[in-house]
Structure 1
């Protein structure tokens, strides 16, 4: 098996002057600074006092899961002769928080709307989704079930 290495740089930006001297005295903000790529400003989940205008870890995980699925979908569609002209997903993830405050994702559903060129076989287009969980790097790495509820439309 080939080994792939990924790197990232997380830089805490929430020191408001006193560091972590008190629990409420610092901001839960940071930047993702991957070399050679735009910086992504992040924050805690808004339910935990984070900035709702910034990406949070839960957003990033769900987005990565959806993007990985999309890329494999497009790959398999091209191989199958299914011409995809548009792909948009609005995935939903569900989490639970335990009595001690620790939470985790319990499931996610990908809900892509896929635009197909006229004449595409919808049964073949649908079947592609079932192949992806076995190859998607992110889906194979998460410890919760991921389901799919695709909708298809055709170009006018």
Structure 2
């Protein structure tokens, strides 16, 4: 059976989309083909970890998710249709981040939803406060992905799937 391809999309592809990509791939890779990219990644940022925020990698490792192969990348192959995608989920900010971050808009007929999660990399404070911000963001991402994986996506119509991914977006 064909795997459902999911693209997690942010602006920078350093934190939220990487955590989502790693989690979906690690927990549900038997049913889903997971991808992540950004509309404007700064590939020099976090160069020692291939553009991925070290705290994002730490969250994945903390939950037993492999991080090999994760790296920040531009969305060009996806918007050109070179890599077919069934579901596009934008993870750009919800609320305070909206003023600082323009969430990319994906063209085409893929099922789309905005699963906004505040950017934990914007949090300033103690190591514990930063860790809590990443933990909170990852908790939201995990809950939403678990809800997506609980759906019979392989047998759902496009309209049913669209309705459900929009419903999942409201989960905190």
Instruction: Give the TM-score, by structure 1 length.
Output: 0.23
Q: Which structure is higher in strand share?
A: 1
- Which structure carries more relative contact order (alpha carbon 8 Å, separation 6+)? 2
Which structure carries more helix by proportion? 2
Q: TM-score normalized by structure 2?
A: 0.21
